[in-house]
A = this chain, B = another copy of it.
Amino acid sequence: MQTLYVELGDRRYPIFIGSQLDPKQLLEPYILGKQVMIVSNETVAPLYLTHYQDALLTLGKNVATCILPDGEKYKNIEHLNLIFDALLQAGFNRDCTVLALGGGVIGDMAGFASACFQRGVYFIQVPTTLLSQVDSSVGGKTGINHPLGKNMIGAFQQPQVVLADMSQLATLPDRELSAGLAEVIKYALLCDEEFLVWLEAHMDGLIARDESLLAEAVYRSCAHKARIVANDEKEQGERALLNLGHTFGHAIESYLGYGEWLHGEAVATGMVMAADLSQRMGWISEAELERTKKIISRAQLPIICPKIPLDEFLAFMSHDKKVLNGQLRLILLKKIGQAIITKDFDVEAMQHAILANQQ
Protein backbone atom coordinates (compact mmCIF):
# COMPACT_ATOMS: atom_id res chain seq x y z
CA MET A 1 0.00 0.00 0.00
CA GLN A 2 1.18 3.53 -0.82
CA THR A 3 0.11 6.63 1.09
CA LEU A 4 -0.04 10.09 -0.40
CA TYR A 5 -0.79 13.19 1.65
CA VAL A 6 -2.65 16.12 0.16
CA GLU A 7 -1.06 19.10 1.90
CA LEU A 8 -3.78 21.57 2.77
CA GLY A 9 -2.67 22.86 6.16
CA ASP A 10 -5.15 21.88 8.84
CA ARG A 11 -7.23 20.05 6.24
CA ARG A 12 -4.29 17.82 5.20
CA TYR A 13 -5.53 14.32 4.39
CA PRO A 14 -4.15 10.96 3.25
CA ILE A 15 -5.01 8.91 0.17
CA PHE A 16 -4.39 5.20 0.72
CA ILE A 17 -3.68 3.38 -2.56
CA GLY A 18 -3.41 -0.41 -2.83
CA SER A 19 -5.24 -3.72 -3.13
CA GLN A 20 -7.48 -5.44 -0.57
CA LEU A 21 -7.30 -2.48 1.80
CA ASP A 22 -8.77 -2.98 5.28
CA PRO A 23 -11.42 -0.28 5.83
CA LYS A 24 -11.76 -0.98 9.54
CA GLN A 25 -8.12 -0.26 10.24
CA LEU A 26 -7.70 2.56 7.74
CA LEU A 27 -10.91 4.47 8.42
CA GLU A 28 -11.01 4.27 12.21
CA PRO A 29 -8.76 7.27 12.96
CA TYR A 30 -10.69 9.47 10.54
CA ILE A 31 -14.29 9.03 11.71
CA LEU A 32 -14.75 11.58 14.44
CA GLY A 33 -18.40 11.06 15.43
CA LYS A 34 -20.71 8.09 15.88
CA GLN A 35 -22.91 8.54 12.81
CA VAL A 36 -21.92 7.45 9.31
CA MET A 37 -24.12 7.78 6.23
CA ILE A 38 -22.87 5.64 3.35
CA VAL A 39 -23.97 7.11 0.03
CA SER A 40 -23.71 4.68 -2.86
CA ASN A 41 -25.54 3.69 -6.01
CA GLU A 42 -27.55 0.69 -7.21
CA THR A 43 -24.59 -0.75 -9.13
CA VAL A 44 -21.89 -0.43 -6.49
CA ALA A 45 -23.96 -1.14 -3.37
CA PRO A 46 -24.65 -4.85 -4.15
CA LEU A 47 -20.90 -5.38 -4.70
CA TYR A 48 -19.22 -3.48 -1.86
CA LEU A 49 -21.73 -1.96 0.56
CA THR A 50 -21.72 -4.86 3.05
CA HIS A 51 -17.93 -4.83 3.24
CA TYR A 52 -17.85 -1.21 4.45
CA GLN A 53 -21.04 -1.42 6.47
CA ASP A 54 -19.66 -4.38 8.43
CA ALA A 55 -16.34 -2.66 9.04
CA LEU A 56 -18.11 0.42 10.40
CA LEU A 57 -20.48 -1.61 12.56
CA THR A 58 -17.46 -3.43 14.02
CA LEU A 59 -16.12 0.01 14.91
CA GLY A 60 -19.35 0.65 16.82
CA LYS A 61 -20.70 3.25 14.43
CA ASN A 62 -24.34 4.09 13.81
CA VAL A 63 -24.49 3.34 10.07
CA ALA A 64 -27.24 4.44 7.68
CA THR A 65 -27.30 4.19 3.91
CA CYS A 66 -28.60 6.20 0.98
CA ILE A 67 -28.58 4.29 -2.32
CA LEU A 68 -29.10 6.43 -5.42
CA PRO A 69 -29.75 5.32 -8.99
CA ASP A 70 -26.56 4.96 -11.04
CA GLY A 71 -25.64 7.58 -13.61
CA GLU A 72 -24.56 11.14 -14.34
CA LYS A 73 -28.14 12.03 -15.23
CA TYR A 74 -29.09 11.69 -11.57
CA LYS A 75 -26.41 14.18 -10.48
CA ASN A 76 -29.06 16.84 -9.95
CA ILE A 77 -30.73 18.81 -7.21
CA GLU A 78 -33.59 16.32 -6.81
CA HIS A 79 -31.26 13.42 -6.04
CA LEU A 80 -29.04 15.59 -3.87
CA ASN A 81 -32.15 16.24 -1.83
CA LEU A 82 -32.58 12.48 -1.28
CA ILE A 83 -29.28 12.51 0.64
CA PHE A 84 -30.54 15.35 2.84
CA ASP A 85 -33.77 13.42 3.39
CA ALA A 86 -31.80 10.33 4.44
CA LEU A 87 -29.55 12.32 6.80
CA LEU A 88 -32.49 13.98 8.52
CA GLN A 89 -34.61 10.84 8.64
CA ALA A 90 -31.69 9.07 10.32
CA GLY A 91 -31.58 11.93 12.84
CA PHE A 92 -27.95 12.67 11.99
CA ASN A 93 -26.37 15.84 13.26
CA ARG A 94 -23.37 18.08 12.94
CA ASP A 95 -20.76 15.53 13.97
CA CYS A 96 -21.78 12.90 11.40
CA THR A 97 -19.69 11.60 8.51
CA VAL A 98 -20.86 11.13 4.93
CA LEU A 99 -18.96 8.32 3.20
CA ALA A 100 -19.08 8.25 -0.60
CA LEU A 101 -18.85 4.69 -1.95
CA GLY A 102 -18.89 4.85 -5.72
CA GLY A 103 -17.58 6.75 -8.70
CA GLY A 104 -17.31 10.43 -9.46
CA VAL A 105 -21.04 11.08 -9.45
CA ILE A 106 -21.48 9.60 -5.97
CA GLY A 107 -18.36 11.41 -4.76
CA ASP A 108 -19.58 14.73 -6.13
CA MET A 109 -23.07 14.38 -4.71
CA ALA A 110 -22.13 12.93 -1.32
CA GLY A 111 -19.34 15.49 -1.00
CA PHE A 112 -21.62 18.39 -1.84
CA ALA A 113 -24.28 17.05 0.54
CA SER A 114 -21.65 16.83 3.30
CA ALA A 115 -20.57 20.41 2.56
CA CYS A 116 -24.13 21.72 2.90
CA PHE A 117 -25.72 19.48 5.54
CA GLN A 118 -25.82 21.55 8.73
CA ARG A 119 -23.39 23.86 6.86
CA GLY A 120 -20.74 21.18 6.76
CA VAL A 121 -20.12 17.72 8.24
CA TYR A 122 -17.29 15.21 7.80
CA PHE A 123 -16.64 13.52 4.47
CA ILE A 124 -14.80 10.34 3.47
CA GLN A 125 -14.29 9.05 -0.05
CA VAL A 126 -14.04 5.46 -1.23
CA PRO A 127 -13.80 5.87 -5.01
CA THR A 128 -14.65 2.66 -6.83
CA THR A 129 -13.84 3.71 -10.40
CA LEU A 130 -10.45 4.51 -11.88
CA LEU A 131 -11.71 7.95 -12.91
CA SER A 132 -12.77 8.91 -9.41
CA GLN A 133 -9.61 7.42 -7.91
CA VAL A 134 -7.34 9.60 -10.02
CA ASP A 135 -9.52 12.63 -10.34
CA SER A 136 -12.72 13.44 -8.52
CA SER A 137 -11.63 12.04 -5.16
CA VAL A 138 -8.66 14.40 -4.95
CA GLY A 139 -9.00 18.14 -4.72
CA GLY A 140 -12.25 18.79 -2.95
CA LYS A 141 -14.42 19.75 -5.91
CA THR A 142 -17.97 18.58 -5.37
CA GLY A 143 -21.26 19.51 -6.98
CA ILE A 144 -24.21 18.76 -9.18
CA ASN A 145 -25.30 19.53 -12.71
CA HIS A 146 -27.95 21.99 -13.87
CA PRO A 147 -29.90 21.63 -17.14
CA LEU A 148 -27.92 24.64 -18.41
CA GLY A 149 -24.46 23.38 -17.48
CA LYS A 150 -22.31 20.75 -15.83
CA ASN A 151 -21.08 21.13 -12.24
CA MET A 152 -22.61 24.58 -12.05
CA ILE A 153 -23.66 24.19 -8.42
CA GLY A 154 -21.24 22.92 -5.82
CA ALA A 155 -18.69 23.49 -3.11
CA PHE A 156 -15.07 22.91 -2.25
CA GLN A 157 -15.15 20.18 0.38
CA GLN A 158 -12.06 18.26 1.47
CA PRO A 159 -12.39 14.66 2.68
CA GLN A 160 -10.88 13.35 5.93
CA VAL A 161 -9.36 10.42 4.05
CA VAL A 162 -9.56 8.65 0.68
CA LEU A 163 -9.35 4.87 0.17
CA ALA A 164 -8.45 3.87 -3.41
CA ASP A 165 -8.65 0.09 -3.61
CA MET A 166 -7.49 -1.41 -6.94
CA SER A 167 -9.28 -4.71 -6.22
CA GLN A 168 -12.57 -2.91 -6.74
CA LEU A 169 -11.62 -2.08 -10.32
CA ALA A 170 -12.10 -5.77 -11.21
CA THR A 171 -15.84 -5.22 -11.57
CA LEU A 172 -15.53 -1.98 -13.55
CA PRO A 173 -16.93 -2.05 -17.12
CA ASP A 174 -14.29 -1.70 -19.86
CA ARG A 175 -15.62 1.69 -20.98
CA GLU A 176 -15.25 3.08 -17.47
CA LEU A 177 -11.72 1.75 -17.13
CA SER A 178 -10.82 3.60 -20.31
CA ALA A 179 -12.59 6.73 -19.11
CA GLY A 180 -10.35 6.67 -16.06
CA LEU A 181 -7.28 6.26 -18.23
CA ALA A 182 -8.26 9.48 -20.02
CA GLU A 183 -7.58 11.42 -16.84
CA VAL A 184 -4.35 9.48 -16.26
CA ILE A 185 -3.17 10.44 -19.75
CA LYS A 186 -4.20 14.01 -18.99
CA TYR A 187 -1.59 14.26 -16.22
CA ALA A 188 1.10 12.97 -18.54
CA LEU A 189 0.19 15.50 -21.23
CA LEU A 190 -0.13 18.48 -18.95
CA CYS A 191 2.92 18.13 -16.74
CA ASP A 192 4.95 14.91 -17.05
CA GLU A 193 6.34 13.71 -20.35
CA GLU A 194 8.29 10.94 -18.59
CA PHE A 195 4.95 9.60 -17.31
CA LEU A 196 3.70 9.59 -20.92
CA VAL A 197 6.67 7.39 -21.84
CA TRP A 198 5.73 5.07 -18.93
CA LEU A 199 2.11 4.95 -20.12
CA GLU A 200 3.23 4.16 -23.67
CA ALA A 201 5.24 1.24 -22.24
CA HIS A 202 2.45 -0.06 -19.97
CA MET A 203 -0.84 0.75 -21.67
CA ASP A 204 -1.52 -2.90 -22.55
CA GLY A 205 -0.99 -3.96 -18.93
CA LEU A 206 -3.24 -1.17 -17.68
CA ILE A 207 -6.01 -2.21 -20.07
CA ALA A 208 -5.52 -5.80 -18.82
CA ARG A 209 -6.09 -4.45 -15.26
CA ASP A 210 -2.74 -5.34 -13.77
CA GLU A 211 -3.38 -4.10 -10.22
CA SER A 212 0.17 -3.03 -9.47
CA LEU A 213 0.37 -1.04 -12.72
CA LEU A 214 -3.01 0.53 -11.95
CA ALA A 215 -1.85 1.43 -8.45
CA GLU A 216 1.26 3.07 -9.89
CA ALA A 217 -0.82 5.04 -12.42
CA VAL A 218 -3.21 6.16 -9.69
CA TYR A 219 -0.35 7.11 -7.39
CA ARG A 220 1.46 9.18 -10.03
CA SER A 221 -1.77 10.90 -11.14
CA CYS A 222 -2.87 11.66 -7.59
CA ALA A 223 0.61 12.92 -6.71
CA HIS A 224 0.42 15.43 -9.57
CA LYS A 225 -3.07 16.48 -8.67
CA ALA A 226 -2.30 16.67 -4.95
CA ARG A 227 0.70 18.91 -5.63
CA ILE A 228 -1.29 21.20 -7.94
CA VAL A 229 -4.30 21.40 -5.61
CA ALA A 230 -2.11 22.10 -2.57
CA ASN A 231 -0.60 25.04 -4.47
CA ASP A 232 -3.94 26.40 -5.58
CA GLU A 233 -6.91 25.04 -3.66
CA LYS A 234 -9.56 27.42 -4.98
CA GLU A 235 -8.55 27.28 -8.63
CA GLN A 236 -7.20 30.77 -9.04
CA GLY A 237 -4.31 29.74 -11.27
CA GLU A 238 -2.30 26.55 -11.76
CA ARG A 239 -5.22 24.33 -10.83
CA ALA A 240 -7.09 25.40 -13.93
CA LEU A 241 -4.53 23.36 -15.91
CA LEU A 242 -6.26 20.23 -14.63
CA ASN A 243 -9.08 21.13 -16.97
CA LEU A 244 -7.07 20.19 -20.06
CA GLY A 245 -9.63 18.88 -22.54
CA HIS A 246 -12.52 19.76 -20.24
CA THR A 247 -13.89 22.91 -21.90
CA PHE A 248 -14.24 21.06 -25.21
CA GLY A 249 -15.33 17.93 -23.35
CA HIS A 250 -18.06 19.72 -21.40
CA ALA A 251 -19.48 21.05 -24.65
CA ILE A 252 -19.60 17.49 -26.03
CA GLU A 253 -21.26 16.15 -22.89
CA SER A 254 -23.72 19.04 -22.74
CA TYR A 255 -24.73 18.67 -26.38
CA LEU A 256 -25.13 14.90 -26.21
CA GLY A 257 -26.96 15.15 -22.88
CA TYR A 258 -25.32 14.05 -19.68
CA GLY A 259 -24.83 10.31 -19.52
CA GLU A 260 -24.56 9.54 -23.24
CA TRP A 261 -20.80 9.76 -23.26
CA LEU A 262 -18.78 9.09 -20.14
CA HIS A 263 -17.00 12.13 -18.76
CA GLY A 264 -13.60 10.58 -19.48
CA GLU A 265 -14.59 9.84 -23.06
CA ALA A 266 -15.60 13.47 -23.62
CA VAL A 267 -12.35 14.64 -21.99
CA ALA A 268 -10.40 12.28 -24.26
CA THR A 269 -11.80 13.86 -27.42
CA GLY A 270 -11.53 17.27 -25.74
CA MET A 271 -7.81 16.67 -25.22
CA VAL A 272 -7.46 15.82 -28.90
CA MET A 273 -9.15 19.13 -29.78
CA ALA A 274 -6.88 21.01 -27.36
CA ALA A 275 -3.81 19.29 -28.83
CA ASP A 276 -5.08 19.98 -32.34
CA LEU A 277 -5.47 23.69 -31.56
CA SER A 278 -2.03 23.68 -29.90
CA GLN A 279 -0.62 22.27 -33.13
CA ARG A 280 -2.44 24.89 -35.21
CA MET A 281 -0.92 27.54 -32.93
CA GLY A 282 2.49 26.12 -33.79
CA TRP A 283 3.27 25.01 -30.23
CA ILE A 284 3.38 21.24 -30.77
CA SER A 285 4.28 19.35 -33.93
CA GLU A 286 2.02 17.19 -36.09
CA ALA A 287 3.95 14.17 -34.82
CA GLU A 288 3.17 15.18 -31.23
CA LEU A 289 -0.50 15.59 -32.08
CA GLU A 290 -0.44 12.07 -33.56
CA ARG A 291 1.38 10.77 -30.46
CA THR A 292 -1.41 12.28 -28.33
CA LYS A 293 -4.11 10.68 -30.45
CA LYS A 294 -2.31 7.34 -30.37
CA ILE A 295 -2.03 6.99 -26.60
CA ILE A 296 -5.69 8.03 -26.29
CA SER A 297 -6.69 5.44 -28.91
CA ARG A 298 -4.64 2.73 -27.23
CA ALA A 299 -6.61 3.41 -24.04
CA GLN A 300 -9.70 2.53 -26.12
CA LEU A 301 -11.02 6.07 -25.99
CA PRO A 302 -12.75 8.11 -28.75
CA ILE A 303 -10.61 10.67 -30.57
CA ILE A 304 -13.51 12.14 -32.53
CA CYS A 305 -17.00 13.12 -31.39
CA PRO A 306 -20.35 12.98 -33.19
CA LYS A 307 -21.26 15.86 -35.51
CA ILE A 308 -22.23 18.88 -33.40
CA PRO A 309 -23.29 22.19 -35.03
CA LEU A 310 -20.48 24.67 -34.41
CA ASP A 311 -22.72 27.42 -33.01
CA GLU A 312 -24.14 25.03 -30.44
CA PHE A 313 -20.68 23.71 -29.56
CA LEU A 314 -19.44 27.27 -28.99
CA ALA A 315 -22.53 28.22 -26.97
CA PHE A 316 -21.91 25.29 -24.61
CA MET A 317 -18.25 26.28 -24.32
CA SER A 318 -19.24 29.82 -23.33
CA HIS A 319 -21.06 28.40 -20.27
CA ASP A 320 -17.76 27.03 -19.03
CA LYS A 321 -16.53 28.21 -15.65
CA LYS A 322 -13.22 29.30 -17.17
CA VAL A 323 -15.01 32.18 -18.89
CA LEU A 324 -13.65 35.29 -17.10
CA ASN A 325 -15.28 38.68 -17.76
CA GLY A 326 -16.93 37.13 -20.81
CA GLN A 327 -13.60 35.97 -22.26
CA LEU A 328 -13.01 32.27 -22.96
CA ARG A 329 -9.77 30.84 -21.63
CA LEU A 330 -8.49 27.46 -22.79
CA ILE A 331 -5.97 24.97 -21.48
CA LEU A 332 -3.56 24.25 -24.34
CA LEU A 333 -0.21 22.51 -24.74
CA LYS A 334 2.92 24.63 -25.07
CA LYS A 335 4.59 21.26 -25.52
CA ILE A 336 3.93 17.66 -24.51
CA GLY A 337 4.16 17.70 -20.72
CA GLN A 338 3.54 21.44 -20.36
CA ALA A 339 0.06 22.93 -20.40
CA ILE A 340 -0.85 26.60 -20.13
CA ILE A 341 -4.09 28.51 -19.59
CA THR A 342 -4.57 31.22 -22.16
CA LYS A 343 -7.08 33.56 -23.77
CA ASP A 344 -4.58 34.29 -26.55
CA PHE A 345 -5.51 31.75 -29.16
CA ASP A 346 -6.79 32.08 -32.71
CA VAL A 347 -10.60 31.76 -32.59
CA GLU A 348 -10.75 30.52 -36.18
CA ALA A 349 -8.10 27.90 -35.45
CA MET A 350 -10.16 26.81 -32.45
CA GLN A 351 -13.21 26.36 -34.67
CA HIS A 352 -11.13 24.30 -37.11
CA ALA A 353 -9.80 22.19 -34.24
CA ILE A 354 -13.37 21.42 -33.17
CA LEU A 355 -14.59 20.63 -36.70
CA ALA A 356 -11.53 18.54 -37.56
CA ASN A 357 -12.26 16.10 -34.76
CA GLN A 358 -15.91 15.44 -35.42
CA GLN A 359 -17.55 12.74 -37.48
Binding site for B on A (CB under 8 A): 33-34, 77, 81, 84-85, 88-89, 91, 93-95, 115-120, 141, 143, 146, 148-149, 151-156, 234, 318-319, 321-326
Contacts and interface: CB of A to CB of B under 8 A. Distances in A.
B146 A318 contact: no
B155 A95 contact: no
A148 B88 contact: yes
Give the most central of A116, A151, A156: most B CB within 10 Å: A116
Contacts of A118: 152, 154, 321
A267 B4 CA distance: 48
B319 A91 contact: yes
Contacts of A321: 93-94, 118
Q: Can you tell how many copies of this chain the complex includes?
A: 2
A84 B153 contact: yes
Contacts of A319: 88, 91
Contact of A84 (B34, B146, B155): B146
Given A88-B146, A94-B323, 12 more contacts: A77-B81, A84-B153, A91-B318, A93-B324, A94-B322, A116-B143, A116-B155, A118-B152, A118-B321, A119-B141, A119-B143, A119-B154
Nearest to A78: B77
Contacts of A152: 84, 88, 117-118
16 contacts: A33-B325, A77-B81, A88-B148, A89-B148, A94-B321, A95-B324, A116-B143, A116-B153, A116-B155, A117-B152, A117-B153, A118-B154, A119-B141, A119-B155, A120-B155, A155-B155
A85 B326 CA distance: 19
Nearest to A117: B153
Contacts of A77: 77, 81
A155 B323 contact: no
Contacts of A117: 152-153
A85 B33 CA distance: 36
Contact of A93 (B91, B141, B143, B323): B323
Contact of A324 (B94, B119, B151): B94
A93 B329 CA distance: 13
A228 to B, nearest CB: 17
A34 B325 contact: yes
A45 to B, nearest CB: 24
